[in-house]
Chains A and B, each alone.
Chain A
Amino acid sequence: MTEQIKAEIHYDSLYRFAVSLTRQSIDAEDLVHQTYLKWLKNRDAIRDTDRTKSWLFTTLHREFLHSLKTKTKHTLMETEQLEMLAPGKSPDTGNKLDAEYVMALMQRVPEPFRASLSLFYIQDFSYREIAEVLDVAPGTVMSRIFRGKQILKELMTTIKHGQPAESGGGAS
């Protein structure tokens, strides 16, 4: 595969990861765009092209952390996503989960659990690869995935039973 193709095939996953982090589609698109620009500028320096995927995700996460520093407060969720989490609004799709709904749930998981959990579900990263992308210990990733899942399940139960899920960026 060419380098461009190697980078571009991760676009969808990068975007989903970015949406889960930023909670805003516009911010997510900017973040992905910014990541690809960095990749274009640095691709000659990435000697091992098999590492393109982890390079892209690592860079996107760093860009996200950098963007947080420049903002005074967390971005609010988009209206549609808030509506998805309104009491009793868990989608009636039988046993299947709905994509918008699970993304809205994911966005409610507080950091630092959210990034680990997103990578765990969105990309086929192992816990060690996630540790590399987020620059934390593998054991920390395990803990964060475990705790993140617990929060997800609690959120689902809360919404199902008609209690409102808090909006904004506060921790659950």
Chain B
Amino acid sequence: MSNKDKILAYKEILSAYRNGDEERYPDAFEDAFAALESLPELAQWFEQDQQFDDEFRTALNDFEVPEQKAIQTEPAKRIHFPLLKLAAAAVFVLVLGGIFLNFNETRQNQRAAALVDELRRDLTAFAASSFDLDAMNNDLTVLQELITSRGGSKGPILKDVFEKGLPMGCKIVELDSHTVSLYCFANDQQQIVHAFVLPINDLNGARAAKHMRAIVEYTDRDTGGWISGDSAYMLVSSMPGVDIKPFLLPAQEIYSVALKRNSVPATVAMTLVEFQ
């Protein structure tokens, strides 16, 4: 094999290389990597190829994706005539009540926004204060049992949201009339992110969801949350500069879709759909 052919063969192998592949498949890239030492032309090509990969991959993964559609498989049920009559009557009643409800809804939304804002301030103030945890443990199940035994919200989805976080401890926090559960997690940089959980009824129900999504900074700490089931979740940086986004954004994406889109999310639809 000529030198030119060798280089071409190595290029073909190296072209498929991704970070970490040398550990997963040591045999596959061993020769090609060794050749990089002795063939400067190949080394230069490889460097440029890796740079091209990085740029292309970044750009391609920025390609905009439309919101997920709820997956439904069951055909729409036929509405029978008596049902239509009932529906017409219901529409009439709804129209009459609409004006009142609309007015009431606006007021309720304003109240939810105010409550969320107040909650953010209270929680960051608490995070900035000095406090002791009720328990320290790296087992989330143990922490959740302790919290629920003391009347706090369990936060059932925390296990999924903080899959890459290490549980550190928990505490029941009394804020005005709210009983708030606090779970502390360490991220991969050993920084602590606080996860506060409370019943959504304390925040005027699910209306609070849209006011919780934005990341808002109070006293140099980031706050942001979502709603899932009967619980509202608010993440707060334990210290200035601690990033909550790696946990917050995926959680919002998965758990707040229904409220963001005003429709049933695929997750829920998947759960609801039944197959014969």
Binary interface encoding of chain B residues 54-72 relative to chain A, with 1 for a CB under 8 A from any of its CBs, else 0: 0111111111111011010
- Return chain B residues, CB-CB under 8 Å to A40: 71, 73, 270, 273, 275
- A62 CB-CB contact with B under 8 Å: no
Within B1-37, the residues touching A (CB, 8 Å) are 11-13, 15-16, 18, 21, 24-25, 28
The answer to whether the Cβ of B53 comes within 8 Å of any Cβ in the partner chain is yes
User: How many Å lie between the Cα of A145 and that of B65 in the bound state?
Assistant: 24
| Contact call A36/B64, Cβ cutoff below 8 A | no
Of B24, B58, B270, which contacts A4 at CB under 8 A?
B270
A166 at the interface (CB under 8 A from B): no
Chain A stretch 114-140: residues in CB contact (< 8 A) with chain B: 120-122, 124, 126-128, 138
B21 touches A127 (CB 8 A): yes
CB-CB contacts below 8 Å: A57-109 with B: 95-103, 106
Give chain B's interface secondary structure class.
Answer: helix
Contact with B along A24-61 (1 / 0, CB 8 A): 01000100010011001100000000000000000000
Please tell me which one of the listed residues A8, A19, A120 contacts residue B16 in the complex, with CB atoms under 8 A apart. A120
Contacting residue for B69 out of A12, A33, A97, A106, CB 8 A: A33
CA distance A33 to B55 in the complex (A): 29
A-B contact count (CB 8 A): 106
Contact digits for B254-270, partner A, Cβ 8 Å, 1 yes 0 no: 10000000000011001
A142 touches B267 (CB 8 A): no
Q: Given A25-B66, A41-B275, A99-B60, verify A146-B16 contact (CB < 8 Å).
A: yes
Residue of A nearest to B266 (CB): A8
Q: Which of the residues A1, A5, A96, A142 comes within 8 Å of B59, measured between beta carbons?
A: A96
Cα distance A38–B60 in the bound complex, in angstroms: 26
Number of residues in B with C-beta < 8 Å to the partner?
39
Contact call A1/B163, Cβ cutoff below 8 A: yes
Interface string of A1-26 (1 = CB under 8 A from B): 11011011101110110010000010
Q: How far is the CA of A122 from the CA of B160 in the complex (A)?
A: 24
Q: A160 in the interface, Cβ–Cβ < 8 Å?
A: no
Asked if A149 and B60 sit within 8 Å, CB to CB, the answer is no
Q: Does B250 contact A (CB under 8 A)?
A: yes
Contact A146 B18, beta carbon cutoff 8 Å = no
Q: Is A143 an interface residue (CB 8 A)?
A: yes
> Do B60 and A152 have beta carbons less than 8 Å apart?
no
Q: Is the CB of A121 within 8 A of B160?
A: no
Whole-angstrom distance from the CB of A144 to the nearest CB of chain B? 9
How far apart are the CA atoms of A2 and B16 in the complex, in Å? Answer: 32
Binary interface profile of B, 111-128, with partner A (CB < 8 Å = 1, else 0)? 000000000000000000
A8-B266, A121-B57 as given contacts; A153 in contact with B16, CB under 8 Å? no
CA distance A128 to B267 in the complex (A): 30
Q: Does any Cβ of B come within 8 Å of A159's Cβ?
A: no
Contacts of B105 in A (CB 8 A): none
Since A40-B71, A96-B55, A120-B16 are in contact, a sample of 13 more A-B pairs with Cβ atoms closer than 8 Å, ordered by chain A residue number, is A4-B270, A5-B267, A8-B267, A16-B60, A40-B73, A41-B275, A99-B64, A121-B60, A122-B57, A127-B18, A128-B24, A145-B15, A146-B16
Chain A residues in the interface with B (C-beta under 8 A): 1-2, 4-5, 7-9, 11-13, 15-16, 19, 25, 29, 33, 36-37, 40-41, 95-103, 106, 120-122, 124, 126-128, 138, 141-143, 145-146, 149, 152-153
Q: Can you report 19 A-B residue pairs in the complex whose CB atoms are below 8 A from each other? A: A1-B160, A4-B267, A9-B250, A13-B61, A36-B266, A36-B270, A41-B275, A96-B59, A102-B63, A121-B53, A121-B57, A122-B57, A138-B28, A141-B16, A145-B15, A146-B12, A149-B15, A149-B52, A153-B52
